Amino acid sequence: MDSLITAAGRALAAGDPFGALNRVALRNDAPALAIRGIAMAQLGDLARARTLVRAAARAFGPKEPLARARCRVAEAEIAFAARDLAASASGLEAAWQILEAHDDRANAGHARLLDIRRRLLIGEVDAAERALDALDAGDLSPASRTIAALVRGGLAMRRLDAGAARIAFTEAAAAARQARIPTLIAEVDAAGRLLVTPAARLISQGKDRPILLDEVDTLRRTAVLLVDACRSVARQGEAEIALARRPVLFTLLRAMAEAWPLDVPRDALITRAFRGKQADESHRARLRVEIGRLRAVIRPVAEVRSTRRGFTLAVPDGTEVAVLAHPIEEPQAAVLALLSDGEQWSSGALAVALGSSQRTVQRALDGLCTSGKVEAFGRGRARRWMAAPLPGFTTTLLLPALMQDG
């Protein structure tokens, strides 16, 4: 390897893309194309970066599988940054096997880390955690160790474990200082600020206030009957009742929990659960049926009692009832949460991340665009979507597929 390529590679590793380009900008040999591609990626021109890295892989040819595998990992990372989630996974496993076979453990670890980040983004929390546990951090560069620690912090936040997240972000900060890459240090600082940003709203006895992830974590460990609207579960201590597949029952439970210790009139419950503007006898009959089902389901943690005008929750003396609500009540909150990461998403990538159909996502995007909450760029298959960050809130509890495999 010539001295200019070596110097350009060191500049890239230090987060200095202009320094790298100054050394190889006029060259079109394979190593220079690869470095130019990675530099363009660091500068944010992902389309140009992908073209250059692909050209580098072709220029290396089939007799240099290790170099081609490194180019494949670089291309996958560019695709991930562009939120092209299908392309970011394609060929990554084969590239990892080649890197392992050639004992390039640093890049093999980076390839694994890229796959873990993709899994975390699409909500495969358990799979991401298992893969991260199996990753040997000793093989990683300081920059990759920073990302690994950020991923561990992200996993902890998905688990609502504020203490573990804080430890992971502290480790990330130490690794970022060792890496000496300004953009990485800024990313760690931004991640740390999530812990001091409201993550949810707590509704209790008529009061509604934002709370931090630390408070959410603490609430989960107390004797409070917590009706968690972020996951559609009722939780008290170790007892947990999932109602995600029974939205009517959860709506009734949430309405009574928000009013506790007062009762909720029957007409109000009908309006909220069945969306009927005027309650008739069929609505009242259906309400009796659903209340009966709710009584049976939540018996381990609470009772549903009839009152003269409606229903109320009854819990043991000394127990309180509270509702943990999304920081922003918005039907398309998960779409907004993904888009607020500052990256440009395609509707296909959003569908993958949300586990939904592309047509459903497209309808949601069209509605959000009409209301001015998101913006579209480009046309046809190149169309991408962006949204401004949600002001004053961390999106941890809005992200899709939370704990789906937990």
Which run of H or of E encompasses 234? strand 233-236
Which run of H or of E encompasses 312? strand 310-314
Q: What is the pLDDT of residue 396?
A: 53
The pTM for the full model equals 0.75
Which run of H or of E encompasses 89? helix 85-89
Q: What is the pLDDT of residue 313?
A: 94
Q: What is the pLDDT of residue 397?
A: 53
What is the pLDDT tens value at each position of the chain, 406 positions in all? Answer: 688 889 988 888 888 889 999 999 888 999 999 999 999 998 888 889 999 999 999 999 888 999 999 999 999 999 888 888 877 787 889 999 999 999 998 889 989 999 998 888 888 888 999 999 998 878 788 888 999 999 999 888 888 888 899 999 999 999 999 988 888 888 899 888 888 888 888 998 888 898 888 888 888 778 889 998 888 889 888 888 999 889 999 999 999 999 999 999 999 999 988 876 677 788 889 999 999 999 999 998 899 999 999 999 999 888 899 998 887 777 777 787 777 777 778 888 888 877 778 888 888 888 888 888 888 887 777 788 877 665 555 555 555 444 333 3
The total of other beta-carbon atoms located within 10 Å of residue 273's CB is 22
Q: What is the pLDDT of residue 392?
A: 55
DSSP state of 389: P
DSSP state of 399: S
Q: Give how far the C-alpha of residue 270 lies from the chain's centroid of Cα atoms, to the nearest Å.
A: 34
Domains in the chain: ranges and CATH = 3-196 (1.25.40.10), 201-325 (1.10.10.10), 332-387 (1.10.10.10)
Q: Enumerate the H helices of 180-332 as residue ranges.
A: 182-193, 213-219, 247-259, 266-274, 281-298
Q: What is the pLDDT of residue 34?
A: 92
